[in-house]
Amino acid sequence: MELTRIRGVGPTIAEKLTDAGIASVEDARKMDIGKTAAKTGLKEERLKKFKSLAMGLHVLSDLKGIGATYEEKLAKAGVCEIHELAAADIKSLAKKSSITEESLQKWSREAKNLIVKDHAIEGATAVQDAAKSAGKAIKKGAEKMGETAKTGAAVVKKKAVIIHDKMRLNAQNTAIHLKEGAKNANVKIQESWHRDIPILRENFEGAETKIRDFGRDVGVYMEEGADRAKVWFEEQWHNDIPIIKEKAQGFFAKIKNKLAKHE
């Protein structure tokens, strides 16, 4: 399983880890924190977090009955990760891999259960990180203002709500502006514009990795003809974000606008 499946590991960090001999999630589970820190220049605290997240993710060999032989057969059939096995057509995969349908169905069920657990772990970790950030911001604000314990408690509550709201995008604070025929979109989050954001339309499972490969903090995933889409922001997906579609300007309309600016 690719390193970028670990939350917080983008292409740059993945490259550093690979150069240090950590090329997969399986390697990350077994990495020596001290040696890896020395080779990569990454802080030990950060590497410990990556290792912990890697332990929470699941790979094909975690499924009972899948050893090196079956793992190799599945790889030759194009199935290298848990989510690929969960989504595979069992009959087609059985023909390609020479593995019985009964075994594949059993592993597919187990894979789906593990995916649900992985998502739960990632969600819990994200909430934990958000809580830590909120706590630091609240403490700093309370010290600066020098308020009494009672007033400070009220400020803590208010700040926590504000931080939580910033992480939740919806139709009231976010919109996707898409021109007819365009491959990229402009996304307005609260009062800030994020321009030329790539639009992904296929393979939602791999959308997060592609956005990281683009080096972007924001991404859009939408299905053809849909009026709402998913927006990737602050390391999580936000659903049901409205799409504002704009007709592409014709040649003569563009000329007219340019002349109007010079009048």
Average pLDDT of the chain, as a whole number? 80
d(CA 42, CA 26): 19
- Is the per-residue pLDDT at 143 higher than 90? no
How does pLDDT run across 50-99, given as a tens digit for each residue? 888 887 777 788 788 888 899 889 989 998 877 888 888 999 999 999 99
d(CA 122, CA 238): 15
Highest averaged pLDDT of the listed ranges 23-27, 114-118, 157-161: 23-27
The one-character DSSP state at 4 is: G
DSSP 132-161: HHHHHHHHHHHHHHT--HHHHHHHHHHHHH
Burial class (CB in 10 A: 0-12, 13-18, 19+), 27: middle
Task: Write the single-letter amino acid at 63.
Answer: L
Q: Is the pTM of this model over 0.95?
A: no
**Please, which pLDDT band fits residue 1 given cuts at 50, 70 and 90?**
confident
* Domain residue ranges in the chain: 3-120, 132-166, 174-246
Contacts of 57 (CB under 8 A, 6+ apart): 1, 5, 6, 25, 118, 121
Q: Which helix (H) or strand (E) holds 197?
A: strand 192-200
- Is the per-residue pLDDT at 102 higher than 80? yes
Three-state DSSP state, 48: helix
**Please, which pLDDT band fits residue 214 given cuts at 50, 70 and 90?**
confident
